[in-house]
Amino acid sequence: MVGKTILITGASSGLGAEMARQFAALGHDLALCARRTDRLEALRAEIAAAHPGRRVEVRALDVDDHDAVFEVFRAFRADLGGIDRVVVNAGISKGVRLGTGGFDVNRRTARTDFVGALAQTEAALEIFRDQRTGHLVMISSMAAMRGMPGSATTYAASKAGVAHLAEGVRADVHGSGIKVSVIYPGYIRSEMNERVKNAPFIVSTQKGVAAIVEAVEKERPRARVPAWPWVPVGFALRHLPLPLARRLMG
């Protein structure tokens, strides 16, 4: 297998950090960015110790700073001589039930999870169109399968927007050298949900990310991961009548 150069946002913890470890183990070089550079440096040292042949570049990035997204992506391309794959992963999961005074929280989630993803997508495609090749990977969520109630409403809507953004890009670049994958993770243990005690079917970070990495390596256009139980659950969420779907949503 020929190693690629992979840019991952939100790489300082959780799914992003574990993707970095697993992609490095597969022989890929990495461009890692996040707000917490101390964690990025620690991750770079960890990967260097485990895989001395891997190149790992790190930069600070807050995806809510849209100008910085373009600057960091361009700088990584200059540093590494090109970017083969961009994983749009950075995001947050805060939320408040709509109409209960939590607009500022919901606005922040929508801004980070959708507008931030839009900025990352624009910056990635700027590089890929110039190179005439590349693989865009958008990390959505099983919450995007259907509108979610309560505190998850804005998060789910933002992740649905990410998925539709990916589908639109795929239609736009069809027939070119640019590939697009959208990944719908189910409950995977990470820093974002470490306080959640009763998430159904939750799997470890390592196992969940292994399913993500497998789908990405195969360049699958879309994947619900891990496949069990999220492929059938996703089908049910899309097609069940609302009263039944709401029970499934919890």
Q: Which domains can be identified in the chain, with CATH numbers?
A: 5-249 (3.40.50.720)
Amino acid at 16: G
> How many separate helices (H) and strands (E) can be counted in the chain?
9, 7
* Residuewise pLDDT in 10s, the chain (250 residues): 579 999 999 999 999 999 999 999 999 999 999 999 999 999 999 999 999 999 999 999 999 999 999 999 999 999 999 999 999 999 999 999 999 999 999 999 999 999 999 999 999 999 999 999 999 999 999 999 998 999 999 999 999 999 999 999 999 999 999 999 999 999 898 765 555 556 677 899 999 999 999 999 999 999 999 998 889 888 888 888 887 877 776 6
d(CA 200, CA 46): 31
232 Cβ partners below 8 Å, 6+ apart? none
pTM over 0.85: yes
Closest Cα partner for 43 from 64, 59, 63?
Answer: 59
155 tagged catalytic: yes
Q: What angle do CA 222, 228, 232 make, to 5 degrees?
A: 70
Catalytic residue chosen out of the listed positions 114, 155, 184, 230: 155
